[in-house]
Amino acid sequence: MINGKIELHAHSSESSRCGSIKAETAVKKYYDAGYKVLALTDHYYARFFDKISDLSWDKQLAKYLKGYKTAKKAAENLNFAVLLGIEIKFIDDPNEYLIYGLNEDFLLKNPNLHRLSLAELKILSAKQKQSILVFQAHPFRQGMAPATEQLLDGLEVYNGNPRHDSQNNKALSYAEKNNLKMISGSDFHEYEDLARGGIAAEEVPSNMSELCSLLKSENYKLIKDGSIR
């Protein structure tokens, strides 16, 4: 039975300046909505790190991870997994990318990943034997365009944020045409975004390795407008 709901795109007010919901509240809301997994993908970009650049990197990273750590603690006594993802925006690239598979140790050892390019991040992760998956977020939102297919594992073909026109139909058509994996995400920032997107699967991942295996397998259905499709 496909009932294991997984959110792949969500933000906390602790770590994303555009987020208005605290991480602990997000966990409770998603748990109450019947989800089993929340991948917290707070914004990793210059706007966040430049404002705290006077701090050491470990302190900068601690501030960035505050939402994730808070969410993780909030889920300790629930049948609910909180996983660490990032939504990265590189300095010379208008696009945004959802990255799954980067752990805290990699983030600590490799400061300021947003100063790289997507190609450089993929090379770096491969050199350090850090397996990652890259899905471009809302690739047809204004000012954005699909990246080179060779750099992507897939596309977010449904973005549930109602305050943006993400042209989800274009993303779906492009992914189908170019044989790219497809995911859905609520792009959770406000209460109205809750549980609009995500994926649903029979096997519910308990850690990032299992989530990446699930995404590679494509053995899941997309959640769109709150419904499993």
**pLDDT tens by residue, 204-213:** 999 999 999 9
pLDDT at res. 14:
87
Strand duo 154-159 + 133-136: pairing: parallel
Closest residue by Cα to residue 182 from 216, 210, 154, 202: 154
The Cα-based distances of 220 to 11, 12, 173 in angstroms read 23, 25, 19
Query: Tell me, what's the pLDDT at 1?
Result: 60
Buried b (16+ CB within 10 A) or exposed e, 82-119: bbbbbbbbbeeeebbbbbbbbeeeebeebeebbebebe
Q: CA torsion, points 105, 108, 110, 113, in degrees to nearest 10?
A: 110
pLDDT at position 2 = 75
pLDDT digits (tens, 9 = 90+) for 74-102: 999 999 999 999 999 999 999 999 999 99
Q: Where are the beta strands (DSSP E) in the chain?
A: 4-10, 35-40, 43-44, 81-88, 97-100, 133-136, 154-159, 181-185, 197-201, 221-224, 227-228
Closest by Cα among 141, 224, 132, 139 to 185: 224
Q: What is the per-residue pLDDT for 17? A: 74
Structure tokens at 115: 């100063």
Dist. CA 229–CA 225, nearest whole Å: 10
Is pTM, for the whole model, over 0.95? yes
Q: Kindly give the parts of the chain with pLDDT less than 50.
A: none
